[in-house]
């Protein structure tokens, strides 16, 4: 018995790594398909976009994260864009920091390709249905300036085209012309959006954030400053589940599959902590 305990106590780290890697990769190859319960903050956002934005309406998504949180936030952006495409809502993307603009571009090319492949009867075009504003430094200043004049704030899109020349810009001048905005970020920049865009210009908005930061923003949901929230990979997965339920997209997507992996990963950690502590206690008892 003690031999096993000793062996387990001094086990090579690499076995631990291997167990975790297998636990996370396995669900990708053999999906489990955990059922998903939809939480109110997610369904609120979904319903608002689904019911309250008219056809041809305008949605703004600000991509304010960097690679370190992209795994959680990227699927949210994709799900939101797909939803807007299906409702024929125009989507604008932007980034307050340089990394966000790069990530937003990736998001656009991905969703456009996927959508046009599976919906040949409703082709979406860059510049007509979706666009990405150029990067402008200034963060909260940019948010404020958009309330005065969006065209004057950015001048061009991220591909160097004059905004005035884009069909998607028709009638879009300030926040008044944007029906809904979602900020995707893992940092406190969400607060700047809430304080300036919502506080000063009454922009209707939703939040997409990481699992770590979720707890901070409940207060803003309660106060009504934001009407919906997607939290972490789970939030994204719930949104995808809603899209599938309403036949917007057919197959399970990134976040939903990721959720299986997340589940098995968490269970692995829990088992590690428990086993590690059992060994610790047995050894301590023996030492006494």
CB proximity list for 183: less than 8 A, separation 6 or greater: 61, 62, 64, 189, 190, 193, 205, 206, 207, 208
Question: Which of 51, 137, 224, 285 contacts other proteins by CB under 8 A?
Answer: 137
In angstroms, what is the minimal distance from the CB of 75 to other proteins?
A: 9
If one asks whether residue 7 binds other proteins (CB under 8 A), the answer comes out as no
DSSP state of 33: -
Check: CB of residue 209 under 8 Å from CB of residue 229.
yes
Between residues 123 and 278, which has the closer beta carbon with respect to other proteins? 278
Q: Which of residues 221-280 bind other proteins (CB under 8 A)?
A: 232-234, 251, 254, 257-259, 261-263, 265-270, 272-277, 280
Q: Give the chain's end-to-end CA distance (angstroms, integer).
A: 17
Residue from 7, 16, 22, 113 touching other proteins (CB under 8 A): that is 16
**Binding residues for other proteins restricted to 32-61, rule: CB under 8 A:** 34-37
In sequence order, the 6+-apart residues with CB closer than 8 A to the CB of 271 are none
| CA 143/CA 199 separation, integer angstroms | 11
Near other proteins by CB under 8 A: residue from 116, 173, 187, 225: 173
Could you say which of 38, 166, 214, 244 contacts other proteins (CB under 8 A)?
214
Kindly state the smallest distance separating residue 266's Cβ from other proteins, in Å. Answer: 4
Residue among 24, 244, 248, 282 that touches other proteins (CB under 8 A): 24
Which residues, listed in sequence order, are joined to residue 229 by a DSSP beta bridge? 207
Residues 58-117 that bind other proteins (CB under 8 A): 66-72, 74, 98-99, 101-103, 105-106
Give the number of residues in contact with other proteins, rule: CB under 8 A: 83
Q: Which of 91, 94, 112, 158 binds other proteins (CB under 8 A)?
A: 158
CA distance 26 to 123: 36
User: Are residues 280 and 8 in contact, defined by beta-carbon separation less than 8 angstroms?
Assistant: no
Residue with tokens 């939290």: 231
Strands (E) in 129-288, as ranges, are: 130-132, 180-184, 205-209, 229-231
Q: Which among 210, 233, 269 has a CA at the least distance from the CA of 34?
A: 233
Residue 170 as a binder of other proteins (CB under 8 A): the answer is no
Q: For residue 287, how many other CB atoms are within 10 A of its CB?
A: 6
User: Cα dihedral angle (238, 241, 242, 244), rounded to 10 degrees?
Assistant: 160
Helix (H) or strand (E) holding 180: strand 180-184
Q: Which is nearer to other proteins, 69 or 227 (CB)?
A: 69
Candidate segments 47-55, 84-92, 115-123, 128-136, binder of other proteins by CB under 8 A: 128-136
- Segment interacting with other proteins, rule: CB under 8 A, options 17-25, 51-59, 79-87, 118-126: 17-25
By CB under 8 A, residue 153 contacts other proteins: yes
Q: Which is nearer to other proteins, 82 or 87 (CB)?
A: 82
The piece of 48-56, 83-91, 120-128, 136-144 that touches other proteins (CB under 8 A) is 136-144
């Amino acid at each position: 018995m003690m031999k096993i305990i000793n062996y387990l106590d001094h086990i090579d780290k690499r076995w631990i790594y291997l167990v975790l890697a297998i636990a996370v990769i396995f669900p990708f190859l053999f999906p489990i398909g955990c059922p998903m319960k939809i939480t109110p903050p997610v369904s609120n956002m979904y319903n608002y976009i689904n019911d309250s934005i008219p056809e041809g309406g305008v949605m703004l998504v600000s991509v304010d994260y960097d690679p370190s949180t992209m795994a959680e936030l990227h699927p949210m952006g994709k799900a939101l864009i797909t939803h807007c495409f299906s409702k024929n809502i125009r989507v604008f993307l932007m980034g307050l920091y340089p990394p966000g603009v790069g990530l937003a571009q990736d998001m656009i090319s991905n969703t456009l390709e996927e959508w046009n492949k599976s919906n040949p009867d409703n082709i979406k075009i860059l510049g007509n249905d979706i666009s990405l504003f150029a990067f402008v430094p200034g963060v909260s200043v940019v948010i404020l300036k958009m309330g005065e004049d969006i065209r004057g704030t950015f001048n061009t899109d991220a591909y160097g085209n004059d905004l005035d020349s884009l069909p998607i810009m028709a009638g879009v001048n300030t926040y008044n012309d944007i029906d809904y905005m979602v900020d995707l970020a893992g940092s406190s920049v969400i607060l700047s959006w809430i304080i300036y865009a919502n506080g000063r210009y009454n922009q209707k908005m939703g939040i997409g954030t990481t699992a770590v930061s979720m707890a901070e923003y409940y207060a803003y949901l309660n106060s009504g400053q934001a009407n919906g929230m997607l939290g972490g990979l789970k939030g994204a997965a719930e949104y995808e589940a809603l899209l599938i339920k309403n036949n917007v997209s057919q197959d399970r997507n990134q976040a939903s599959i990721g959720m299986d992996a997340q589940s098995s990963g968490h269970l692995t950690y829990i088992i590690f902590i428990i086993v590690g502590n059992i060994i610790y206690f047995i050894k301590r008892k023996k030492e006494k």
